[in-house]
Structure 1
């Protein structure tokens, strides 16, 4: 087993190591990443953080070691008042009859009156990921779909750019 910097040409037997700083508020590896890793010939994934899409990972049959599963992927920073519905993990939320509850890798509670607002973008994400998976199964790697080589080329030119500060949760 060997670990190295990000590469567009991994060696068979390598393992993808994902450092998400042990975060427990988001999953950083999904079925798409796992399928890409399998197609690229890597032997598995080790995550300092969480994964999602556990049912799909079982079908892909690639060893994935993480700190656990959570259905939420990485969140982007949004300004207040964007009108986006908020998803909350059940341990942060008192579930009532006004909630729509979903379970797979974990449990999510959505305000029932916002379920339609949430379902439309969630369906778009699901459909996009299914198209990406289908393309991957036909040989079009996720790296190619995401133009990963171009990202590496741009990143190589960032020698003097200071690192982005880590994400810190605001206390309320």
Structure 2
């Protein structure tokens, strides 16, 4: 897929089935994530891959956090099942450090770029993906269960797999004039 077409036709795919990217396809996705802008070469990200039983463990971590938070049984069950909506879930973590020239926000944005790069690299190879978020990204118990250190922050959950249904038509182009102003 041509680079510009890939960007202009970017879409999220929430209905994903096996197979997940693996082998060279998965390595391409990881290399795309590692190639994002990274001021100072700090490598301020980590990727936790959850597949097979790892998705079950992630679901249990999320469900336990929801239970501790006082969520209802439906919300708890929904979070327990959430990682099963794709054959591979990548937890994208910002590993920002205090740096005199590179603010934490810039490092977190780099991790966000990594999440988008993963989704784009998956789409370029015929796979689908969706970047999911939610309160669980900020839950300290989820962070602890995933082994995150102080200062590390989940920036998203990238669900990857094979699209269950074909994407219907191109994305609707937005009027860029509504989002642009000149100084």
| TM-score of the two chains, using structure 1 as the length reference | 0.24
| TM-score of the two chains, using structure 2 as the length reference | 0.23
Normalized per residue, which structure has more helix?
Answer: 2
